[in-house]
Every structure is written in structure tokens, then in C-alpha cells.
């Protein structure tokens, strides 16, 4: 019987139809392992090194199985890549027709009802009106309603929340645009398709039936393939928790006014109550203090100004709730605003000190126990907005409970699942118990293509002189590589310190995260000879620059998450309370995964080559440094800058 991997072998149609396609033994082996899991209904954790071609390795057996397979990716960009590029290539090579569908979350689809309501959702200035006109014209032409089609308007434009729906404001089957609703049509296609491409956010949202409520898709699946699975834990923590934000409150207020204009024009007092909610939400933001805060709620909950502002907000929300209860009989929109107000009162009450004992049980510090286990209450502030969070500390049991609801194959894959050659950290994080695992290494020759440079005699990363001295050591590396480098930092402060130094010392163009949107910054990097890009967290993964544009990656420190982060601190406390060692059990493994992602930016193709420089002296000085080094690709290691310069000299000779 023919195996799926036979279609990827030397006599396969892929060799004939895909330019540059090369047979990779590890890709064939991974394909066989995926096929076995699909047939047996098992659970597989598969680390697939960069360049192995894992997408083809799981797409082929998925399509040939004839089963309904849900493929979840890390981002919407990867969704589009998979659906519009990879799937068509595979189906064409196989000369096989199969039904496929792309499904995104609500916020990615135009809502025709919201488009009609938009002019009434607050002040519409000239720019917003121009965007509304563009969206309206596009709405007459689009088949999918996917807002990514309208690329002329930025993804973060103010216009999109006005014309897309949320689970809170969707009218459901009572909407007069239901028959032509884009998200409904997308879901119908997903129900009928054999292969459905979603993302982790949608997977978790639907799994919990919290934000999407689309219960017919997941239970019908025979298999789930989770790509970029190393991201799943953090996404799960977000979706198994809860949040209330100023944006949600202001949206409720404005939607209530818009619905009142339509269905309850005689209830002018509703507008007054809604405007009071918006005012008290803004006052509460001021009471929380400066922007850029990310703290546990316990640090601020006893402040009189905060409690008074929260009390005023709850009072205004309850007043609006009462009038919405009366108005809710006038129309589905007002009824839904009433339901949203109820939900927000419940969520906000968790943060009100007088009622915390009724809502949750106090344990250590700011950790609470609710029906899902230990959670932490925390908040974050932005210039004009805020978010209040209830986040579970341990999502493993919760995720396991949800996955047990589906009798399906589960395949988790990523280039970075292992820590110190083990899957223990990944499996523990998401509650995997009975699973098989395998490692399929990258086909790239790291021994020949790369060099790891660990400079000596640097100060400790905690010392104030560290970043400057690190950049002094980085200068000869950047000169040898002739720019063409990513310099990755663990903080914005260090990034800007380094920029201040490098702009005086380097003649190459410096590109700094924040100066341009991420995609524009990357495009400029690719187009600029000898550029040096300075970035923080968002450039450590999901960034793919192939060829001569990138031949050096410099990493300032081991990427330990800040212990001051409220969720991280709560997890540390929980592990301590259970008798564990949080540093070795959680902090080190998390940092290892992030470091592997950062190092992985360098070699993206069989012809790529370059140097990775990691400045942190703890790699050699601390016992745990060996765990980091054991987890990286097998590269030659040096502490001699002359070997770095020789590497680039030999590289230049090969190119010429």
C-alpha cells in the first residue's frame, strides 16, 4: 500500500512541479509519523527543524486520509500562507481535488450590520468618513468579507472595530443581514470542508465556546494539527482567563446609543446613562496611574482613588443595565447590549474589594481560586486605555479537559518543542500525558553554515555598563559581516541604549523597531544593503529573511521573562508553594524556547550562512548555561573574534 511519503520521494510529482524542491529524508520520516498518528488516532509531539518542510509533511497525509482535519497555525499571516500558497501547491502536485476552507475570528470579517451602524457609533471625522466610504465600496465587491483584502487601510486602523463584530455585539440569527453574513458563510464552508485552516486564537476560543460559540466545527473533526505549537500555552492562558477593558466598556456605551437611536428614540435617558459609563471608564483609567504599567491587582486595589473610581464605574454600569433591561424589549440590538452590560458587571465585580470574597477565594498574594483553579488578577495601562485580567496560572488541566472532549488525533509540531533534548516542559505545560514524540532535525549543515560566538570577559547583564560593553564587542562582528544583521534585545531600554552607541560608530543604516510598522521595517531591511535591524520580542520569532540580507544575529541576553510580570510571578509563587523549583522547572525552559527561536532567525535556507553572537556570560559561568547550549543546533563555538573574521572572509571567497 502506498504511503503518503512516497509522494515526496525522488520520483514524486513535487520534484517535477515545484522549482527547487529537494527530497529530504527527515521530511519523509515525519510524513510517515503524521500518517501513523492520523490512522491510529494517537497524539504526536513532533519537533521539526527549520527547513525540513514540515508543512508538506503534514498536509499530504491529511489530504490523502480523507478525514476532516483542522490545522491551526500561530498567526493569521501563517494561515494565509498555508491556505493560499502551500495547500494549492500540494493539491496541484497530487492532481487531487479536496474541499478546503480558511476560517478566521470574527474581527477579520466585515459585519454588514455594523457597517450600517458605524456613522452612529461616535464622532466620525473626515478620515474615518473617507475610510467608511472605501469599506462600503469594497463591501459591494468582496466575496469573502475578509478585511485583509482591503490592504489600503492599515490593520490597526480605528475603522475596523467600527465595521467588524465581536461575540458581544453580534446579533446572531436575529440580524437582518444574517443571510449575507460573511462570517456565517465562512463557517458554512468550514463545516463542509475536509481541510480547515484556523489559528490558535480561534481554536481556543471555539474550544471554550467563549468568544465564537461555533460548536459545530471542532466536534466533527477527526484530527487536529497544531503548527507553531510552542505558542499554544500562552494563547491558552489568555483564552481560559477573562478580561474587561476600557475599549469594551466604551464600545458598549456607544453601541447602546446607536441602538437607542434606531429602536428606542423616545428613551433619551439611555444616552445619558451610556455617556456616564464612558466618562467613568475614562476616569477609572486616570485613577490607575501612568501608562505602560503591568502589575498585579493587589498592588493597587487598596488605593482609595482606584476603589472610588471603580465604584463609580460599577454604579454607572448598573444604572445603564437597569435602563437597558427596560429597553431590551424594543430590539435585538438593545437586548444584546443588556446582556453585555450584565457580563461586564459580573467581571468588574471581581476587582471590587468589597465583593472579592464572594467572587473568589483568597490564597497567596494576589492569586485567586475559581472554578478553573488558581488564577491571578492583574491590570495593564496604555496611554488612554486599560485592561483588567483574570488569568489562570496553570492551563494544563484546563487544556487537557477540553482536548479530552474530542476523540481525535492530535499532532503538535514546531521547530522549538524540546528543552535540553526533552519534551517534558512542553508536555507539562499543556497537560499531554499519553503521547509519542520524535525529533526530525533540520537538513541544514550548521557545522559548515554557522558559527556561535561567545565573547569573554563581559560584565554581568545586571551591571549598568553591560549594554555598552556588549556593543563594543559587537562592533567588529558587524564590521566583519558588513552589517546584514539582526541585533535582538530583551528590553526596549537596552535596544535604545545600543542604538545611541551604534549610530555613532557604524556607517551602516540602522533600523529600529518602532520607527516603522514591523512589515515595513522588514521590507526596508531586505531592500537595504548592509542594514542592521535592532528589535525586541516580536523579532525573535516568526521573521523569515533568507539570503545575503541577513548573515548575523546578535542576542544581548538570555531571554528570561521578567519576574515582575504579574502572570510570571504568580506562576513562580504557585510552583514554590507546591514544593517545586520555579527557576529550573519553568523560567529556564521558557527562556530556552525563546533563545532557540531567536537563534533560528539566522539559517532559513540551505544556502544561508552566518554567525550567532550571544553576549550573556552566564552561558559559560552558570550550570544552567549548559541546558541552553545543549538545546541549540550543533554549531561550532568560539570566543575568538579572529575566528569570526575568518569565517566571514571564507564566506566572501565562496560568494565571489
CATH of the domain at 555: 3.40.50.300
Q: Do residues 399 and 236 lie in contact, with contact meaning Cβ atoms separated by under 8 Å?
A: yes
CATH of the domain at 369: 1.10.275
pLDDT of residue 175: 86
* Same domain (yes/no): 640, 580: yes
Helix axes 246-263, 332-349, angle to 10 degrees: 150
Q: Picking from 169-173, 215-219, 458-462, 483-487, which range would have the lowest pLDDT averaged per residue?
A: 215-219
- pLDDT exceeds 80 at position 124: no
- pLDDT exceeds 80 at position 23: yes
* Same domain (yes/no): 413, 341: no
- Identify the CA nearest to 341 among candidates 455, 256, 452: 256
pLDDT of residue 216: 63
- pLDDT exceeds 80 at position 655: no
Tell me if 93 is assigned to some domain. Answer: yes
- pLDDT exceeds 60 at position 233: yes
End-of-domain residue from the set 404, 420, 440: 440
End-of-domain residue from the set 180, 202, 218: 180
End-of-domain residue from the set 383, 409, 440: 440
Measured CA to CA in angstroms, residue 246 lies from 116, 259, 282, 338 at distances of 24, 20, 7, 17
* Same domain (yes/no): 72, 214: yes
User: What average pLDDT does the structure give for the chain?
Assistant: 90
What residues contact residue 352 under an 8 Å CB cut-off, 6+ apart?
307, 310, 311, 314
- Tell me the average pLDDT across 543-565: 93
pLDDT of residue 213: 47
Q: Picking from 118-127, 343-352, 596-605, which range would have the lowest pLDDT averaged per residue?
A: 118-127
Tell me if 8 is assigned to some domain. Answer: yes
What residues contact residue 580 under an 8 Å CB cut-off, 6+ apart?
none
> What would the grid cell of residue 390 be?
483574570
Which phi and psi angles does 375 have, rounded to 5°? -130, 160
Which residue range(s) make up the domain with 318? 242-392
User: Could you tell me how many helices (H) and strands (E) the chain has, helices first?
Assistant: 28, 20
- pLDDT exceeds 70 at position 96: yes
* Same domain (yes/no): 415, 457: no
- pLDDT exceeds 60 at position 367: no
pLDDT of residue 119: 82
Give 4's strand partners: none
Reduce the DSSP state of residue 75 to 3 states and report it. Answer: coil
Q: What percent of the chain has pLDDT over 70?
A: 95
Q: For CA atoms 333, 334, 335, 336, give the dihedral sign.
A: positive
What is the b/e burial string over 3-34, where b = at least 16 CB atoms within 10 angstroms of the residue's CB?
bbbebbeeebebeeeeeebeebebbbebbbbb
pLDDT of residue 215: 55
* Same domain (yes/no): 387, 400: no
pLDDT of residue 130: 87
Measured CA to CA in angstroms, residue 636 lies from 37, 619, 623 at distances of 36, 15, 20
pLDDT of residue 102: 95
d(CA 477, CA 647): 11
Tell me if 281 is assigned to some domain. Answer: yes
- Tell me the average pLDDT across 370-396: 87
Tell me if 188 is assigned to some domain. Answer: no
> What would the grid cell of residue 322 be?
437597569
**Which DSSP letter does residue 439 get?**
E
* Same domain (yes/no): 455, 552: yes
Q: Picking from 208-222, 355-369, 409-423, which range would have the lowest pLDDT averaged per residue?
A: 355-369
- The band of 365, judged by pLDDT with boundaries at 50, 70 and 90, is very low
**Which DSSP letter does residue 517 get?**
-
How many domains in the chain? 4
- Tell me the average pLDDT across 362-374: 46
pLDDT of residue 364: 35
Q: What percent of the chain has pLDDT over 90?
A: 70
* Same domain (yes/no): 138, 64: no
- pLDDT exceeds 90 at position 633: yes
d(CA 335, CA 175): 12
> What would the grid cell of residue 57 be?
509533511
Tell me if 185 is assigned to some domain. Answer: no
Terminal C-alpha separation, the chain: 49
State pTM to two decimals: 0.89
> What would the grid cell of residue 194 be?
475536509
Tell me if 186 is assigned to some domain. Answer: no
d(CA 197, CA 218): 12
* Same domain (yes/no): 22, 94: yes
> What would the grid cell of residue 273 be?
446613562
Helix axes 304-327, 269-287, angle to 10 degrees: 160
Tell me if 187 is assigned to some domain. Answer: no
- Tell me the average pLDDT across 501-506: 95
- Tell me the average pLDDT across 78-90: 93
- The band of 156, judged by pLDDT with boundaries at 50, 70 and 90, is confident
1 or 557, which is more confident? 557
pLDDT of residue 629: 97
* Same domain (yes/no): 206, 263: no
- Identify the CA nearest to 585 among candidates 555, 624, 614, 556: 624
- The band of 370, judged by pLDDT with boundaries at 50, 70 and 90, is very low
> How many Cα neighbours within 13 Å face the side chain of 410?
23
Which residue is it, cell 464605574?
313
Tell me if 615 is assigned to some domain. Answer: yes
* Same domain (yes/no): 578, 482: yes
- The band of 66, judged by pLDDT with boundaries at 50, 70 and 90, is very high
Q: Do residues 71 and 196 lie in contact, with contact meaning Cβ atoms separated by under 8 Å?
A: yes
- Tell me the average pLDDT across 412-427: 96
Tell me the range of 90-99, 200-209, 619-628 where mean pLDDT is highest. Answer: 619-628
* Same domain (yes/no): 21, 138: no
* Same domain (yes/no): 331, 284: yes
- pLDDT exceeds 80 at position 211: no
Amino acid at each position: 500500500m502506498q504511503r503518503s511519503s512516497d509522494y515526496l520521494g525522488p520520483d514524486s510529482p513535487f520534484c517535477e512541479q515545484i522549482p527547487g524542491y529537494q527530497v529530504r529524508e527527515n521530511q519523509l520520516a515525519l510524513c510517515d509519523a503524521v500518517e501513523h498518528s492520523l490512522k491510529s488516532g494517537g497524539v504526536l509531539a513532533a519537533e521539526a527543524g527549520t527547513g525540513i518542510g514540515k508543512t508538506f509533511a503534514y498536509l499530504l497525509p491529511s489530504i490523502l486520509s480523507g478525514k476532516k482535519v483542522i490545522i491551526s497555525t500561530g498567526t493569521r499571516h501563517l494561515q494565509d500562507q498555508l491556505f493560499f500558497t502551500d495547500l494549492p501547491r500540494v493539491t496541484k502536485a497530487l492532481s487531487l481535488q479536496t474541499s478546503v476552507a480558511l476560517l478566521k475570528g470574527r474581527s477579520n470579517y466585515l459585519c454588514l450590520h455594523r457597517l450600517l451602524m458605524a456613522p452612529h457609533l461616535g464622532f466620525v471625522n473626515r478620515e474615518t468618513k473617507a475610510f467608511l466610504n472605501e469599506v462600503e465600496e469594497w463591501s459591494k465587491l468582496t466575496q469573502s468579507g475578509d478585511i485583509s483584502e482591503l490592504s489600503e487601510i492599515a490593520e490597526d486602523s480605528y475603522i475596523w472595530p467600527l465595521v467588524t463584530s465581536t461575540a458581544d455585539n453580534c446579533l446572531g440569527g436575529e440580524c437582518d443581514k444574517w443571510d449575507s453574513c460573511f462570517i456565517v458563510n465562512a463557517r458554512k464552508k468550514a463545516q463542509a470542508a475536509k481541510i480547515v485552516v484556523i489559528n490558535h486564537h480561534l481554536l481556543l476560543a471555539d474550544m471554550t465556546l467563549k468568544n465564537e460559540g461555533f460548536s459545530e466545527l471542532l466536534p466533527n473533526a477527526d484530527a487536529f494539527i497544531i503548527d507553531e505549537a510552542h505558542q499554544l500555552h500562552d494563547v491558552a492562558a489568555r483564552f481560559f482567563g477573562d478580561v474587561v477593558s476600557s475599549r469594551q466598556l466604551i464600545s458598549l456605551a456607544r453601541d447602546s446609543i446607536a441602538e437607542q437611536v434606531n429602536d428606542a428614540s423616545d428613551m433619551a435617558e439611555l444616552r445619558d446613562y451610556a455617556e456616564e459609563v464612558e466618562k467613568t471608564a475614562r476616569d477609572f483609567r486616570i485613577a490607575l496611574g501612568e501608562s505602560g504599567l503591568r502589575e498585579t491587582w493587589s498592588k493597587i486595589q487598596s488605593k482609595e482613588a482606584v476603589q472610588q473610581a471603580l465604584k463609580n464605574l460599577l454604579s454607572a454600569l448598573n444604572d445603564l443595565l437597569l435602563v437597558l433591561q427596560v429597553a431590551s424589549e424594543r430590539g435585538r440590538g438593545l437586548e444584546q447590549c443588556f446582556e453585555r452590560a450584565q457580563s461586564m458587571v459580573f467581571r468588574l465585580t471581581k476587582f471590587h474589594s468589597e465583593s472579592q470574597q464572594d467572587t473568589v477565594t483568597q490564597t497567596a498574594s494576589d492569586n485567586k481560586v475559581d472554578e478553573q483553579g488558581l488564577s491571578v488578577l492583574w491590570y495593564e495601562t496604555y496611554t488612554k486605555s486599560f485592561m483588567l485580567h483574570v488569568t489562570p496560572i496553570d492551563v494544563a488541566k484546563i487544556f487537557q479537559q477540553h482536548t479530552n472532549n474530542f476523540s481525535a488525533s492530535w499532532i503538535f509540531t514546531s521547530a522549538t518543542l524540546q528543552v535540553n533534548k526533552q519534551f517534558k516542559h512542553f508536555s507539562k505545560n499543556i497537560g499531554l500525558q499519553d503521547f509519542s514524540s520524535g525529533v526530525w532535525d533540520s537538513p541544514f549543515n550548521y557545522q559548515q553554515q554557522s558559527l556561535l560566538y561567545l565573547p569573554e570577559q563581559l560584565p554581568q547583564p545586571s551591571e549598568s555598563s553591560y549594554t555598552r560593553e556588549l556593543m563594543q564587542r559587537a562592533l567588529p562582528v558587524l564590521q566583519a559581516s558588513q552589517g546584514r544583521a539582526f541585533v535582538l534585545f530583551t528590553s526596549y531600554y537596552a535596544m535604545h541604549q545600543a542604538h545611541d552607541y551604534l549610530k555613532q560608530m557604524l556607517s551602516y543604516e540602522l533600523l529600529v523597531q518602532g520607527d516603522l510598522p514591523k512589515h515595513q521595517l522588514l521590507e526596508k531591511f531586505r531592500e537595504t544593503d548592509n542594514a542592521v535591524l535592532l528589535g525586541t520580542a516580536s523579532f525573535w520569532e516568526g521573521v523569515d529573511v533568507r539570503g545575503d540580507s541577513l548573515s548575523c544575529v546578535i542576542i544581548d541576553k538570555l531571554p528570561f521573562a521578567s519576574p515582575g510580570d504579574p502572570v510570571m510571578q504568580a506562576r513562580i509563587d504557585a510552583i514554590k508553594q507546591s514544593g517545586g523549583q520555579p527557576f529550573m522547572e519553568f523560567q529556564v525552559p521558557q527562556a530556552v524556547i525563546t533563545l532557540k527561536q531567536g537563534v533560528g532567525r539566522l539559517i532559513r535556507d540551505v544556502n544561508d550562512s552566518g554567525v550567532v553572537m550571544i553576549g550573556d556570560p552566564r552561558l559559560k559561568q552558570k550550570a544552567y548555561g549548559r541546558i541552553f547550549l545543549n538545546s541549540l543546533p550543533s554549531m561550532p563555538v568560539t570566543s575568538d573574534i579572529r575566528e569570526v573574521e575568518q569565517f566571514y572572509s571564507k564566506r566572501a571567497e565562496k560568494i565571489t
